[in-house]
Amino acid sequence: MSALCALADLANPGAAGFVVEKDGSRLAVLVARRGRKVFGWVNSCPHLWVPLDTETGRFLSLTGEFILCGNHGALFEIDSGACVLGPCRGKGLTPYPVTVRDGMVVAAGGCFSPGTCP
């Protein structure tokens, strides 16, 4: 398991984007925080398969209650990834496994760093 960031670096509620690499493939993911819990999702809207953050790094609604697709305003539950508003209603975000260990947000396998991997 490799560290993505410190839990303290994520606002509560908050979210941040990362590019992870495994076996030569890169994947854009986001980590959302609510309390001491974190939730990992592939950074791709299930409606148009485009990144959720049209403004780099902005993943949450103004209230911080939902993950927001900046392309068309769809809202997703932070903890389940379910679309609750918008054209993707009934669909959900693709999970990406993350957990908190010793104050760090970690994910399994590969190269993990904010921004890009070498």
Q: What is the pLDDT of residue 61?
A: 95
Task: Map tokens 């560290």 to a residue.
Answer: 3
Determine how many CB atoms are found less than 10 A away from the CB of residue 7: 18
Backbone angles phi, psi at 9, to 5 degrees: -80, -10
Q: What is the pLDDT along the chain (118 residues), one digit of tens a residue?
A: 678 999 999 999 999 999 888 778 889 999 999 998 999 999 999 988 899 998 888 999 999 999 999 998 999 999 999 999 999 889 999 999 999 999 999 986 544 444 433 3
Q: What is the pLDDT of residue 34?
A: 94
Q: What is the pLDDT of residue 36?
A: 87
Whether the model clears a pTM of 0.85, i.e. scores above it, the answer is yes
**Residue 82, Ramachandran bin (φ over 0: left; ψ between -120 and 50: alpha; else beta):** beta
Determine how many CB atoms are found less than 10 A away from the CB of residue 32: 26
Q: Write down how long the chain is.
A: 118
- Cβ proximity of 4 and 96 under 8 Å: no
2-113 has which CATH code? 2.102.10.10
